[in-house]
């Protein structure tokens, strides 16, 4: 498995080796040793999610209060999505920066984003199936969003799907009503870089790193 840190610190891309024959394909989409080597601690698994999306469905940008936050290890089992990580940590040198990885059923990459980072994805094909391992369970009172089409973020969402057809973005009502990055910051709703660093340092200390 190959590991690459994204331009947003605290997020990594994992590319597995695939073994195929006339029966199909086998791969290991999560490996603890490689994960720990990158993140500096293990992945506490509290919940596993699966979402299936039509082409053009845009989910996010979602994040959770820190502590404890909600780290995610994201994999696309079928179809294709553009997966986006956003630095929402106030005080971070890369605050407001985003990076993206194409997750699909060809290269079968995965993305890990640590606590305090925002997550979003755009489905590029009908039936895109995304599964993700979460460090914390769903807690609506501490989960929030930033509008994925906020011009200040400037995320470059594809306008065409995997089949070459034009995409029409579809957002949930909650994501449509999400604040801009500036509004969320002004409201004091974003995580602090110092709080996130302290929390992650605790995880690494507990792991003996």
Q: Which residues are catalytic?
A: 62, 132
Residue with tokens 């870089």: 193
Query: Distance between CA 30 and CA 25 in Å, rounded?
Result: 15
Give how far Cα 93 sits from Cα of 35, 104, 115, Å: 24, 30, 16
Residues 38, 31: Cα–Cα separation, whole Å: 11
> CB-side exposure of 70: number of CA atoms within 13 Å?
23
Distance between CA atoms of residues 121 and 148, nearest Å: 9
State the Cα–Cα distance between residues 131 and 119, nearest whole angstrom. Answer: 13
């Amino acid at each position: 498995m190959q590991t690459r840190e994204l331009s947003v610190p605290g997020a990594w891309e994992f590319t597995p080796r695939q073994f195929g024959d006339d029966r199909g394909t086998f791969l290991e989409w999560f490996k603890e040793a490689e994960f720990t080597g990158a993140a500096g601690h293990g992945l506490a698994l509290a919940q596993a999610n699966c979402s299936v999306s039509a082409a053009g469905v845009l989910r996010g940008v979602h994040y959770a209060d820190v502590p404890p936050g909600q780290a995610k290890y994201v994999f696309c089992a079928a179809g294709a999505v553009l997966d986006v990580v956003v630095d929402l940590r106030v005080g971070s040198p890369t605050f407001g920066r985003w990076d993206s990885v194409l997750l699909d059923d060809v290269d079968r990459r995965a993305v890990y984003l640590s606590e305090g980072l925002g997550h979003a994805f755009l489905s590029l094909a009908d039936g895109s199936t995304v599964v993700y391992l979460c460090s914390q369970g769903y807690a609506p009172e501490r989960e929030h969003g930033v509008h994925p089409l906020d011009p200040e973020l400037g995320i470059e969402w594809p306008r065409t799907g995997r089949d070459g057809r034009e995409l029409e973005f579809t957002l949930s009502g909650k994501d449509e009503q999400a604040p801009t990055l500036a509004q969320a910051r002004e409201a004091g709703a974003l995580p602090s870089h110092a709080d996130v660093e302290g929390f992650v340092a605790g995880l690494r200390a507990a792991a003996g790193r």
